[in-house]
A and B are shown apart, each in its own frame.
Chain A
Amino acid sequence: MKFRDQTDMGGTRGGFLTTHWSLIEDVKAGSDKNGALIGLLLHTYWKPVYCYLRHKGRDNEQAKDLTQDFFHEVVLNRHLVGRADKDKGQFRSFLLYALNQYLINRDRDQRAQKRIPRERLASLDIAELPDLPLSFAQATAEDSYHYAWLSALLERVTAEVKTACQEQGMENHWALFHERVLQPILGNSDPASLTQLCENLGIGDTKKASNMIVTVKRRFRSVLMELVRNTVVSEGQAREELEYLLQFLPENAQRPE
């Protein structure tokens, strides 16, 4: 999956330094710039919503449309936002809650559609649809949602780390991490031999290479924490959130050795 760094609506990464909750607070306060917010949310979170809808039985096009409409709804319909329970702390839960509310309202009242501007403020350009693993074929819609949430989060972390490496001239760091950690974990390939990698990349010794990998791993960790933090209210909740993500679907959860 290729990560897109820009959205049409200018939802740059800089905008993500604030937490999503503060975005939502902005909406409540009426100080949002609708288009930008929708674009930002849509860009970052369409996949979980889309996967959820697919698992709820919507077909591809329906799910795409609903996803888009939903984000408009979340941002534009202040009532919905107003009812979101910030104390629960997770943006992930809020989004799912809001999505369910939206679906209920929509089913009950087809006119809901009329509230959404005909010209959508931010459009969803879905060229590549998210894939779910085969083991999710029988999963519930909620599980799919959480899975996609997690995947999107990790994809984002990966992309940010990669960009950061490249911007700082740490291409070799990234290459090492990519070959030795990322790809093997994802099951795409066996870890390349460190010696061979060193040779290819012109790195003096494997010790140095190992350290380079550790550097990227740490960075990966910190970006991950930062992004998780963005979706919750407090640091404590960030840990909880991470814990939750590690634990959901207990039957599938295999803690790393």
Chain B
Amino acid sequence: MNFITMLEQISSGMLHTILIFFLTLVFSLPLGWIIAFGRMSKNKIISSITGFIISILRGTPLMLQLMVVFYGPYFLFKLPITNWRFPAIIVGFSINYAAYFAEIYRSGISAIPVGQYEAAHILGFNKVQTFFKIILPQVVRIILPAVTNEVITLVKDTSLAFTLSYMEMFTITKQIASTQTTLIPFAIAALFYYIFNLLVSFTMRRLEKKLNYY
């Protein structure tokens, strides 16, 4: 197999990798807020259940979680899992990353001085206005570096989809490498992840600068 064919085959996987990356962000970033609110709930039952779920999601390998999400419906409920492979990957990734984002959001929220809430309250803002106008904009700035870290990890973690034999880039790379007995595919893959992450860091730095107006 020549280099060009190799590159073509690997490139076809890149699209899937990028798709996993973006879909995971689209679902996990908002889901993280829901989990964060659950964790911070004044209701002890809700907050401890959420805390337990977070600890499971952060305390077990993502690879294992992907397996459970993919095979679980069949083993537990005898449901057919054809066409479930890709959704399972997105569900597994999204839930796992949401747990990490939730803890980041929580730390951001607890960094906001109580005086901000009191001032908002005295000025008559309701809870929704207080959150969206006063708390959230400040939290976003605080948590951005931590979120960037997670996003960079996610770029690399997409390769875990190979455990479910999904044809994303790393799965293809591995196949070519073993059939052709060469390291070149890995070099290509490494370069791809590296450039992808350069773009991610660049974008996030721009965003950080933009939010550094005060």
Specify whether A and B are partners.
no
